[in-house]
Structure 1
Amino acid sequence: MSQDEILIRASEPEDVPDLTEVLNQPRAVWGTMQLPFTSVATRRERFKVTSASQTMLVAVIDGKVIGSLGLGRLEGRRGHVGTFGMAVHDAYAGRGAGTALMAAAVEQADRWLGIRRLELTVWTDNIRAIALYERFGFEREGLMRDYAWRDGAYADAIAMARLRP
């Protein structure tokens, strides 16, 4: 799929049903800290309390939201730091939506928010995501053993970060 066929835009309240579908996909939820089987009603409530300091992006193909990325800025002495999480619908994985979302988030962080450091946490076995982040200049900073409970077992994660060039 061509990057030209993927629209990246701000998330809107009417996107919540599609976002819920994305985040309830087995592989998509596996790669996040989200819980499976979250209802549309629960996600609508979460959407209402999204902070003004967060940038919520969606990837759209043929009018359907197939991916999302939330970019937030920390406060106080870590106000130069942004963090994010993302997910792509299982049926659209590997077609460029993650790359398009990352490109938009990095541009937003670098050119509009003045974020110096972008950081993330990724499961050690999420090879595709790690490769994507490395293409955008993220470097591995450390291993976090038994970071969180996932799919019936504790899973390790990698701390990664990118400093604005």
Structure 2
Amino acid sequence: MSAVVIRRATVEDAPAVARIFEDQAAVAGTMQVPWPQADNWRKRLLDQSVDQVELVAMVDGGVVGIAGIRCESKLRRRHVGYIWMAIADRWQGKGVGSCMMAELIDLADSWFNLTRLELTVYTDNVAAVALYRKFGFVIEGEHVQHAFRNGEFVNSYCMARLRPVAEMSHA
């Protein structure tokens, strides 16, 4: 596989991002609905707040994944970030998610001084749960009937990663 390049998402990425959510596994692993409009992604990428960063993963010049981190703005939760990602079906299981997760964690730890990262993941998304565990996330609970997907309710885990105390003393 060619090298994975991670960069900030731009408005011009909207059509490629919309195509990711046309993939069955990619859309099934997120809270998105099938067949998104590129204009909706264009607006979302254009209107990014200062409290969020959305990144794309590129291989051979094409967008193969998108991920984001949104920092909490409430005073008592400014140490927290919420992350999410989606990888095009044919690129799942090839290291793209690991590259994106490493970049999100570096932003959280080295630039945003976040000490807690949170995410939700469907309980049947075994590969994603394994990826998140690899990066230090633990399951903190389960949301029952969290979302409606493919004609049925599905559960999700709430997972979190706390930055190790030793790393915080150097921040």
TM-score range, shorter chain: over 0.9
Distance in 2 between residues matched to 1:11 and 1:42, nearest whole Å: 14
2:3 counterpart of 1:42: no
Write out per-residue CA displacement over residues 119-145 of structure 1, whole angstroms, 9 at most, x where no aligned residue.
000000000000000000000100111
Gaps of 5+ in 2: 165-171
User: TM-score, normalised on structure 2?
Assistant: 0.92
Moved over 2 A (4+): none
Write out per-residue CA displacement over residues 81-111 of structure 1, whole angstroms, 9 at most, x where no aligned residue.
0001100001111111000000000000000
User: TM-score, normalised on structure 1?
Assistant: 0.96
Q: Give the RMSD, CA atoms, in angstroms.
A: 1.0
Aligned pairs for 1:67-82 (under 5 A) are 67-76=65-74, 77-82=76-81
Task: Measure how far apart 1:156 and its partner are.
Answer: 0.4
In percent, how many aligned pairs have the same letter? 42
Distance in 2 between residues matched to 1:65 and 1:136, nearest whole Å: 23
Gaps of 5+ in 1: none
Is the contact between residue 12 and residue 42 of structure 2 (CA under 8 Å) also seen in structure 1? no
Q: Secondary structure at the match of 1:114?
A: coil
2:124 counterpart of 1:121: no
* Partner in structure 2 of residue 146 of structure 1: 145
* Partner in structure 1 of residue 24 of structure 2: 26
The one of 56, 62, 71 equivalent to 1:64 is 62
Aligned pairs for 1:92-103 (under 5 A) are 92-103=91-102
Task: Measure how far apart 1:41 and its partner are.
Answer: 1.6
Distance in 1 between residues matched to 2:84 and 2:157, nearest whole Å: 14
